[in-house]
Amino acid sequence: HGIEKGLSALNKQMQVCSIRSAEEFENLVSGQPPDGLLFIASKNVVALKDVIESVPCVAVLGSPCDGLFDRVTYDNPSTGRLPAELVL
């Protein structure tokens, strides 16, 4: 809740999502795009790298995405803190 409160105080928005296609990503960021994304990593995300990197993002769990994105897993206690620092 501290991260959420800190981001809100700065008028920043972070989204948690799963990205399966370029169209799904475009719908997510249309209008006012979020300031950052936490997304569930999957192998198909690698093919969407050029589209996804238009928004600061961190992959969470799932596939390592060939090392193309910053990534945290359940072993990392900083899962929420790292992407918040990226946005801040």
Task: Decide: helix, strand or coil at residue 35.
Answer: coil
pLDDT above 60: residue 1:
no
The 3-state DSSP class for residue 36 equals strand
- What are 42-84's pLDDT values in tens digits? 777 888 888 888 888 888 877 777 778 787 776 555 566 766 7
Could you tell me the maximum CA-CA distance found in the chain, to the nearest angstrom?
A: 35
- In angstroms, rounded to a whole number, what is the distance separating the alpha carbons of residues 75 and 8? 27
**Nearest Cα to 65, choosing from 84, 79, 52, 75?**
52
Mean predicted lDDT score pLDDT of the chain: 79
